[in-house]
Structure 1
Amino acid sequence: MSRTTQEEANLALVLDMFAQVLNPMDSAAADRFLAADYIQHNQSVEPGLAPFKAFLDMIREQTPDAVHDVKRAFVDGDHVTVHYHVRRWPDDPGWAVIDIFRVEDGKIAEHWDVMQDVIEGGPNPNSPF
């Protein structure tokens, strides 16, 4: 299946946001990627761009070695889905996370996520990735 030029741009925007905002936890860079009226659906973060940036700063302070290791990404129109592994510190089994982003006018306008603990030695031998 081929992607449209707009889908390619939407996918690039989200992957660039991971590289320039989430992995370095650079809240100042968020303005380049997220809309001013950004809608947040994560129940642990207050709505809006400013609370997201404050949350990112808090996470950076608490877990400065955290990484967001993208395993796969999908795009469908104005929605981009990213499946990735978050590790907060070295040797952390971390979380398996799926983010869904809606892109509008070249910025991330809306975000949903789901996450689960990565269980080492659990009953299922299949990786969550």
Structure 2
Amino acid sequence: MSRTPQEEANLKLVLDMFAQVLNPMDSGAVDRFISPGYIQHNQSVEPGVASLKAFLDMIREQTPKAVHDVKRAFVDGDHVTVHYHVRRWPDDLGWAVIDIFRVENGLIAEHWDVMQDVIEGGPNPNSPF
């Protein structure tokens, strides 16, 4: 199945956002990727762009070596889904995360996510990645 040019652009936008915003925790780059009317669906996070910027600044200060290691990404129309491994510290097992983004007019307009702890020694030998 091939992607449309718009899907390619949407996927590139989201992956570039990971590279330029999430991995470096660069709140100054947010406006290049996130719509001013950004809708956040994570109920543990305050809505809006300002709270996203504040969150990035807090994480950068508390855990400057945090990593968002993308394992796979999918695009379907205006939605991009990214499965990745978050580690806040170098020796942290971290979380397995799936983000869903909706892109509108060349910017990320909406976000949903689900997270689970990565554990050692569980009953399932398969990696979450």
Structure 1 length-normalised TM: 0.99
Residue in 1 that maps onto 2:126: 126
Deviation at 1:60, TM superposition (A): 1.1
Flag as ranges the 4+ runs of structure 1 deviating above 4 A.
none
Gaps of at least 5 residues in structure 2 are none
C-alpha distance in 2 between matches for 1:27 and 1:69: 19
SS of the aligned residue for 1:73 comes to strand
Deviation at 1:123, TM superposition (A): 1.1
Residue in 2 that maps onto 1:10: 10
* C-alpha distance after superposition, 1:21-80 (max 9, x if no partner): 000000010000000010011112111101111011111111111000000000000000
One-letter amino acid of the structure 2 residue matched with residue 71 of structure 1: K
* C-alpha distance after superposition, 1:79-104 (max 9, x if no partner): 00000000010110000000000000
- Cα RMSD, aligned residues only: 0.5
Query: Are 1:91 and 2:91 matched, yes or no?
Result: yes
SS of the aligned residue for 1:53 comes to helix
C-alpha distance in 2 between matches for 1:44 and 1:53: 15
Where in structure 2 are the equivalents of 1:1-129 lying within 5 Å?
1-129=1-129
C-alpha distance in 2 between matches for 1:111 and 1:59: 19
C-alpha distance in 2 between matches for 1:44 and 1:20: 24
C-alpha distance in 2 between matches for 1:69 and 1:80: 16
C-alpha distance in 2 between matches for 1:64 and 1:42: 23
One-letter amino acid of the structure 1 residue matched with residue 21 of structure 2: V
Deviates more, 1:88-97 or 1:42-51: 42-51
